[in-house]
Amino acid sequence: MRPLKVIVDQASLRHNLAIVKQLAPKSKIMSVVKANGYGHGLINVAQGLSESDGFAVLALNEAIDLREHGFEQDILLLEGAFESYEISIAAKMRFNLVVHNLHQLQMIEKLKLNHPIDIHFKINTGMNRLGFNPNEAKEILKTLQNKTHFKSITLMTHFATADEPKGVDWQLTVFNDIAKHFNFSHSVANSASIVNFKKTHLDWVRPGIMLYGASPIMGQKSSLLNIKPVMQLKSKIIAIQNLSKNDSVGYGETFKAKNDMRIAVVACGYADGYPRHAPTGTPVYVEGEKTLTVGRVSMDMLYIDVTNIPQASISSDVELWGEHIPVDEVAEKAGTVGYELLCAISASKRVPIEIIHG
């Protein structure tokens, strides 16, 4: 069996959830577990985050999966319903729906629901992805206040620059100018704003990436936030090659040895979710030592420098990210973000997941 695997530590999930509770003690926590729990496995993650007040997912099947595994918390569909039948299922199974356009509202109003539904009314405060235009939102909300098919209404928005110097005030002002006219619950804080802006800790907070141990703030190490990595991507050395000066390794001769070198071949490549564009010099951990990749990442393999790690041999364990190598460091080298790397593991469907229930 190929030695590549993902290890998911549920104790770290619980630890990171506790950090969110410390940061936002008066808010309910809607833990974001979309994209198969950011690549960690939906149910694995939900079990580790079972003390959450709610879960946010993208697809109806994810919400159903959570219910069928016994999770009774609020479950929010972040893009709402795409078809009318989904609304009927959501009402019956007590899912909350994001509503971000008139088409979705009209679908709900045309149905004769046996169960009133909870909605999260999304306001576009400047990110310009999803949400009602703020110039129209107030009047639309007035028409919804007395509708019997809505059990509750929560106002929400999403911040575009909570992790950047521009901050959140430019969007929060727009949101508050609408929200102050209604006695509805509020949900605005993502991971970055949970960390950076206490004023965003309203009725609900929606932590995502920080629950998985990656930093929500570019350039800030996750260790400074006291959050722990949940995923460890591990493989093994499957071959050793000795290079002479000017020898190359991998496709395209993108790396040539400046001196004699000892190179290890590791069973992991871009088809497994490792970033193809991770350049020479991306950190890895082997036999208690930090070292670097060399050459171009292949579909199924990558290459690391073990010249100064004589104990490294065939079958030596290699950590590609996790406890010793933060996923954010790998992402930064590859010109991307930790979110993408974690989710890419799930998308590959080639890497088995091992759970530590601790």
Question: Active-site positions?
Answer: 34, 251
- Residue 119 Cα distances to 182, 215, 306, 327, angstroms: 15, 30, 55, 35
Which pair of tokens denotes residue 289?
Answer: 């030592």
Neighbouring C-beta atoms of residue 146, cutoff 10 Å: 7
The alpha carbon dihedral of 65, 68, 70, 74 has a sign of: positive
Residue 19 sits at φ, ψ, to 5 deg, of -65, -40
> Do residues 175 and 138 lie in contact, with contact meaning Cβ atoms separated by under 8 Å?
no
Q: Residue length, the chain?
A: 358
DSSP characters over 330-357: HHHHHTS-HHHHHHHHHHH--S-EEEE-
Amino acid in position 286: V
Do 24 and 190 contact (CB within 8 A), yes or no? no
Q: For residue 155, which of 137, 169, 167 has the smallest C-alpha distance?
A: 137
